[in-house]
Amino acid sequence: MVAGKHTAVLGLTTFIAAVYLLSLFAFPEAPRAPVWHPIIARSAVSNTHGAKNVITPVAATNASVLRETQRRALAVRSTMAPGLELSHLMSTANGAHGGEWPRRQPRYAVASSVMTARFAQYAMMLAYTLQQHNDFEALDAELILLVRTEGKDAVTAHNITNLEKVGWRVLVEKDLEFEGVDKGKIRPYHRYNLNKLYLWSYTQYERIVFIDADTLCKNSIAELFVQPGDIAGSPDVWWDVPIDTRFNSGVISFRPSIEEFRNMITAVSDPEMHKPNDADQAFLNAYYRRRFHALPFKYNYNLVMYQFHRRTWDMLWDEAVIIHYTTKKPMPTRHCGKGCGEWEPSVYYSILCKEMLAFYGLENELPVLG
């Protein structure tokens, strides 16, 4: 009788162990893909402006995932039920990828675009400051950058090396063409901006937050991933209009859609939607007229406010998230000092630029912008 009980207990124990083993390996937790941006391996310290540098967690590599799978299998091998082979468990755990997990697709993306080589360093600054204030693995998001590599003033291979170094996943696209639209008539500094419409076709993402390259981040952007509707943007600001009824397309949160993308490509050719010298902002406002969700000013803190609506700028500075250098682009030589119309934001940019260059060891390669 006692021997029978022991046999039953042993059989039950073996059965439980086998079920547990299968639960570990037949349905393993999908690992995150290896991060493609540099490892930020410094402690969180306050910079000169009191901001915290967020350490980006480093995801496990495919090799380490496989080693962990093997370790766990060997650790419980002695508890396996008769006839349950280790090779079967390993093949179940690894799936059909020969021991390598496919790259995990993030739910969201933060996107920007660089259509000319001059803007490459601006995008480097944006990526650096975004990662100071946001943990993108925790947000289930990645940084993607749309670039143009053909034609006059295009982005170079060296530009791309630096852009990838600071964290961008670079995506090369050819210029979009629109029936009946002469892009030569579009203002030179906005000529390639309509290429950002490509992003609406990136339906692998649930939502995309687009941020112009000539910006800095100084707070969390997490709220931008959960905006309602098809598109959200902050009201534009002008010297004589503190709150426009139209949005500035430099910071927008939108839902990608192939149908919307195709409709947009057709709509650009409609003279009611797109004027000959206009770029993306006027078009998007016409296309989404009366159906965009308004964001607070803090998500597109336009430099126009500093020069013409200073009281509002000072009042909202602490909660500002994205600073948009619209009226005065940071320059390598003509720094904007005291007495210049936008001198304080320009000095702020140059301080962070020095920090970024030092962090990536680029002080002798790239100039300080300000």
Give the pairing type, strands 215-217 and 322-324.
antiparallel
**Residue 137, CB half-sphere, CA atoms under 13 Å: how many?**
17
Question: In this structure, which CATH number among 3.40.50.10140, 3.50.50.60, 1.10.630.10, 3.90.550.10 belongs to the domain 108-359?
Answer: 3.90.550.10
- Confidence tier at 4 by pLDDT (50, 70, 90): low
Q: How far apart are CA 130 and CA 352, in angstroms?
A: 12
| Nearest-5° Cα angle at 89, 83 to 91 | 125
Percent of the chain with pLDDT over 70: 72
- Confidence tier at 144 by pLDDT (50, 70, 90): very high
Alpha carbon distances (Å) from 84 to 68, 74, 126, 145, 167: 20, 13, 53, 48, 45
Output the DSSP codes for 101-136: PPPP--SEEEEEEE-SGGGHHHHHHHHHHHHHH--H
Q: What is the reported pLDDT for 217?
A: 98
Phi–psi pair at 225, nearest 5 degrees: -80, -10
Mean pLDDT score across all residues of the chain: 78
- Which residue, 153, 164, 142, 126, is CA-closest to 251? 126
Chain centroid, CA 49 distance in Å: 23
Domain boundaries of the chain, sorted by first residue: 2-39+57-94, 108-359
Look at 5 and 126; give whichever has higher pLDDT. Answer: 126
Q: What is the reported pLDDT for 231?
A: 98
